[in-house]
Chain A
Amino acid sequence: MQLEGEHVFKGPREEVYAMFRDPEVLATAVPGAQSLTKIDDQHFEGAMNIRIGPVSGSFSGKVEVANEVYPEKFTLIVEGRGAPGFAKGMGDVELIDQGDGTTLLKYSGDVQIGGTLASVGQRMIDSVAKSIIKTAFETLDKALEARLAAKAGSAPVEFKAPTEAEFAAAVTKDMASGLSKVAEVRMLFYVIPLIVVLVIVAYLLSH
């Protein structure tokens, strides 16, 4: 199953890429990440907490970063397992310099989920995944703004990651506003958050 989307960052491509390598930023972008251990430059092991409607629990997983072409693209291979089931996915992330000082991030991937996550959480996955991605990008927008301001030496922009409670509220709001109408996107959207989180953490640790 295919999953794809995009997001425009208001900053140059190199800065966006650098941000993705900044552990402090990335670790805060998605809530629930518990730990990440570097195995080598391309491989990481980590744990995160997941809550999809009635399904919750901790996942342990592996992340592999492959096909890295600075500052254009990289591929993430993620595999997570835990009491709530499993997720297995592969995603390509591409950064495109739009020539106007902004950067277009495109992602596309293929994900499988199983266990309780699929059998009970399936109907929520779509909404929750989209919310996680949306929140993560919003957080990264602010982080990027803060980084650029710091670099320019101008007045510091306050950057604060959302708390888990704020995140939960955002998910509820998104679900209520009917974000989940697109049937085809179902499962993949769930793993994207997982991928994003794990990638972020992987990058954190790798640098």
Chain B
Amino acid sequence: MAGRVFGQSIPRNEDPYLLTGQAKFIDDIELPGMLHAAFYRSDYAHARIKKIDVSEARKLPGVIAVYTAEDFGEFVRPGPLQVPPPTAIKGSIFHARPLMPIAKDKVRYSGEPLAVIIAENRYIAEDAMDYIVAELEPLPAVTDLEKALEPGAPLVHEDLESNLAALVKQERGNYEEAAAKADVVIKKKIYVDRGAGAAMENRGLVVNWDDRAREMTIWATTQAPIPLRNSIATRLGLFEEQVRVITPFIGGGFGPKIMTSQPDDVLLPIIAMWLKRPIKWIEDRRENFLATTSERDQIHYAEIALTRDGIILGVKDVFYHNTGAYDPYGMTVPLNTQTHTVSCYEVPNFYTEIRMVFTNEYVVTPVRGAGRPEGVFVMERLLDYAAQELGMDPAEIRRRNLLRKERFPYPTGIIGQDFVEGVLDSGDYPETLRRVMEVIEYEKFRKEIQPQLRAQGKHKGIGIVCFTEGTAVGPYEGARVTVGANGKVTVATGISTQGQGHFTVFAQIAAEQLGVDVKDVNVITGDTGHFHWGAGTFASRGMGVAGTAVYNAAVKVRQKALQFGARFLGVSEDEVELCDGKVCVKGDPSRSMPLGEIALKANPTRGTIEPGVEPGLEATAYFGPPYGATGAGAVAMIVDVDPETMAVNIEKFAIVHDCGTVVNPLLLEGQVMGGVHMGIGNAFYEKIKYDENGQLLTASLMDYLIPQATDMPKEMIVEHLETPSPLNPLGMKGVGEAGAIPTPACFMQALEDALYEYRLQIDETPLNPSRLWELVQQAPKK
């Protein structure tokens, strides 16, 4: 599929700006008369608000205004719900409790805003907080997912009968019947704890209301500029055209920046309109931990039923999912868990039940992986326990159960986050497993190297797991491709960019079609003034959905260029072709016309084309798949564990990944490695911890550990299998979350293998050296 530039390892167009410090980030924006905002947040996780006295804070010189819930009047209402309820799933229960923009009457999580301070600068705004007196009556907090559902538990939302936020049951086949016939049934309780998106750049918002032009411009670090604009316009009673959202360069998204109605998104535009002055808010790291969404946090009661030969007969998984104090993002995360628990294996009978729970913690919404790592962790752990029980090799039990190539397209019978039944479109799962075993030299390690190491008293283990990644979901994205009179190309699309490399890969797609240099394609993302239809950057859908829209638009422009070029050159359309930025007559390169000149003439005002023809060398196209394309892969890793300190050294990590057609191998490798880094964090470093009173104990990078370069594998092998997806013309599947999904499961298997004499059955992630030490101490010894 690789072409002249498409499919090639082309260095990133955006890097010169980023690497030389010329890129514009949100905190670089300075406007005349700009004010600064700070949020006064609740120290309590659950409390009734008696009184908030801001009178002294208002008197502080430099403070412009201090607002509490009562000042916002009708604006203080929940919502909106950003993702619809799962009504497509029969019998499902979902209690919509979208976010409140500011706490009124009651506080439901520690960090919930109680007041907003607007001041001449941030220092004054922060100082003013010391003068606010909040009288809160503490209430008992709920943080334990199972206890939260017990009768008599304190209620996060007192209008509900319990803390149950949602209940969704799905089944294919009949698990109980299958289990009754099974030779072996294994039951386990498995925990997947919470981690942050932890982008290098926190969130931020700059709002400017031009009262004379009646126009609002918002710079935001959002992954969803168009939904953000729509919700702000609706709330303020403006036309969408009166609100422009611009995303500057963003230092990482990883999921949480998809949220469009967090308190800052709601309140700051209102205040900017009231004060008629620009306002800036840049989130600090503590706020990021307290009040930017994070994810994982599930408890699974999982079972697997097998034959003696290790063939899976069925899987059952009843799990508790923490949604936090509100559920503004619907059920995307737990539905992803449901669809990813068994997805790469032949599991004829599968029962899965979500019990989504409200707690006095901050809200859970997708973070890279978005429910998929939890499902894969559960399934892969179950297979490891089964392999131990049956005395089988972990690779072998997987090989026996992977879906065969001939099974595609494979309907899964399970409805996913896009509310349609999941269909696995294409792939070759056994081949990814075979190749990963080959590149990590699995058999050699097991049979030759490891026995020698063990004889020397060394603790080196290998892990191997498989996974899928549902990607590129609808509903749709669009793009407009325009050739300028300068002969260069502009691509505008509605999604935004947080570092993925869209400025390069979208340029490659357009450049391939139009025969121009990749550097001559200017890509505009995340500016509603340039393109104003679309959904956003999530679910590894940038390439598969927006990339396809770019392709469709570029193909149209190419056709137009050939049509107009032939006309201007006085030949028929089938006599011309694109050559090096020009339309040339085939076989006679001396007769040609540069694209820029065609673009200039492709305008009826110049009399060169007839009125009624769509003007310009420009086209807009949209793309929406019927369901998402599913990537897949297999990973293996070799770890060396120091049994004294429980320090873990990852010696080698191999991934064989299939995301369909590869657009840029260089960027793909970066995406995969970044995902693996996050997966390592989720396995052994990153953990958001709340205490039993709902106090966040890890709100700084001192306590929330992110793996460093030295914690990455010493050797990393990234290989690709290209099974094109039939769901889009270029055959692309997403890859943004891939590395994060299988890594924790693989890490635990490798640890168990390294510390083989303790016969560990690790049922939780993340671990850390001291937790691993505890597990070893509790183990039944050699």
Residue numbers of A with Cβ under 8 A of B are: 54, 57, 81, 83, 85-86, 88, 112-116, 118-120, 122-123, 183, 187
* A82–chain B nearest beta-carbon distance, Å: 9
Q: How far is the CA of A83 from the CA of B133 in the complex (A)?
A: 10
With a CB–CB cut-off of 8 A, which chain B residues contact A81? 43
Q: Is the CB of A123 within 8 A of B129?
A: no
- Given A112-B693, A118-B695: 20 more A-B contacts, CB < 8 Å: A57-B130, A83-B130, A86-B44, A112-B695, A113-B695, A114-B43, A114-B44, A114-B110, A114-B693, A115-B110, A116-B43, A118-B691, A118-B696, A118-B697, A119-B695, A119-B697, A119-B700, A120-B702, A123-B702, A187-B691
Q: Is the CB of A119 within 8 A of B693?
A: no
Q: How far is the CA of A120 from the CA of B110 in the complex (A)?
A: 13
User: Top 9 A-B pairs ranked by shortest CB distance?
Assistant: A115-B43, A119-B699, A118-B695, A114-B43, A119-B696, A122-B697, A83-B130, A114-B695, A120-B700
Q: How far is the CA of A114 from the CA of B43 in the complex (A)?
A: 6
| Residue of A whose beta carbon sits closest to that of B691 | A118
| Residue of B whose beta carbon sits closest to that of A187 | B691
Q: Is B289 an interface residue (CB 8 A)?
A: yes
Q: How far is the CA of A115 from the CA of B695 in the complex (A)?
A: 7
Q: How far is the CA of A140 from the CA of B691 in the complex (A)?
A: 34
Q: How far is the CA of A119 from the CA of B699 in the complex (A)?
A: 5
With a CB–CB cut-off of 8 A, which chain B residues contact A112? 693, 695
* B704–chain A nearest beta-carbon distance, Å: 10
* B362–chain A nearest beta-carbon distance, Å: 11
Q: How far is the CA of A119 from the CA of B289 in the complex (A)?
A: 9
With a CB–CB cut-off of 8 A, which chain B residues contact A123? 702-703
* A201–chain B nearest beta-carbon distance, Å: 22
| Residue of B whose beta carbon sits closest to that of A84 | B43
Q: Is B290 an interface residue (CB 8 A)?
A: yes
Q: How far is the CA of A113 from the CA of B693 in the complex (A)?
A: 9
With a CB–CB cut-off of 8 A, which chain B residues contact A119? 110, 286, 289-290, 695-700
| Residue of A whose beta carbon sits closest to that of B126 | A83
| Residue of A whose beta carbon sits closest to that of B694 | A114
29 contacts between A and B (CB under 8 A): A83-B129, A86-B44, A88-B138, A113-B695, A114-B44, A114-B45, A114-B693, A115-B43, A115-B695, A116-B286, A116-B699, A118-B691, A118-B695, A118-B696, A119-B110, A119-B286, A119-B697, A119-B699, A119-B700, A120-B286, A120-B699, A120-B702, A120-B703, A122-B697, A122-B698, A123-B702, A123-B703, A183-B770, A187-B691
* A170–chain B nearest beta-carbon distance, Å: 22
Q: How far is the CA of A183 from the CA of B110 in the complex (A)?
A: 23
* B367–chain A nearest beta-carbon distance, Å: 19
For A81, A86, A115, A116, the residue with the greatest tally of chain B CB atoms inside 10 Å of its CB is: A115
For A88, A119, A120, A122, the residue with the greatest tally of chain B CB atoms inside 10 Å of its CB is: A119
Q: How far is the CA of A86 from the CA of B697 in the complex (A)?
A: 14
**A85-B43, A114-B43 known; A122+B703 contact, CB < 8 A:** yes
For A85, A88, A120, the residue with the greatest tally of chain B CB atoms inside 10 Å of its CB is: A120
With a CB–CB cut-off of 8 A, which chain B residues contact A86? 43-44
With a CB–CB cut-off of 8 A, which chain B residues contact A85? 43
With a CB–CB cut-off of 8 A, which chain B residues contact A113? 695
With a CB–CB cut-off of 8 A, which chain A residues contact B699? 116, 119-120
Q: How far is the CA of A113 from the CA of B129 in the complex (A)?
A: 19
Q: How far is the CA of A118 from the CA of B693 in the complex (A)?
A: 11
With a CB–CB cut-off of 8 A, which chain A residues contact B696? 118-119
* A125–chain B nearest beta-carbon distance, Å: 10
Q: How far is the CA of A88 from the CA of B138 in the complex (A)?
A: 11
| Residue of A whose beta carbon sits closest to that of B289 | A119
State which residues 31-85 of B face A: CB under 8 Å.
43-45
Q: How far is the CA of A54 from the CA of B696 in the complex (A)?
A: 16
* A159–chain B nearest beta-carbon distance, Å: 36
State which residues 275-308 of B face A: CB under 8 Å.
286, 289-290
With a CB–CB cut-off of 8 A, which chain A residues contact B289? 119
With a CB–CB cut-off of 8 A, which chain B residues contact A57? 130
| Residue of B whose beta carbon sits closest to that of A115 | B43
| Residue of A whose beta carbon sits closest to that of B285 | A120
Q: How far is the CA of A54 from the CA of B701 in the complex (A)?
A: 13
Q: How far is the CA of A114 from the CA of B691 in the complex (A)?
A: 10
Q: How far is the CA of A54 from the CA of B284 in the complex (A)?
A: 15
* A202–chain B nearest beta-carbon distance, Å: 23
Q: How far is the CA of A81 from the CA of B133 in the complex (A)?
A: 10
* B137–chain A nearest beta-carbon distance, Å: 12
For A54, A83, A118, the residue with the greatest tally of chain B CB atoms inside 10 Å of its CB is: A118
Q: How far is the CA of A54 from the CA of B285 in the complex (A)?
A: 14
Q: How far is the CA of A58 from the CA of B58 in the complex (A)?
A: 20
Q: How far is the CA of A57 from the CA of B129 in the complex (A)?
A: 12
With a CB–CB cut-off of 8 A, which chain A residues contact B693? 112, 114
With a CB–CB cut-off of 8 A, which chain A residues contact B770? 183
Q: Mark B701-712, 1 if CB is under 8 A from A, else 0.
A: 011000000000
Q: How far is the CA of A66 from the CA of B495 in the complex (A)?
A: 63
* B198–chain A nearest beta-carbon distance, Å: 15
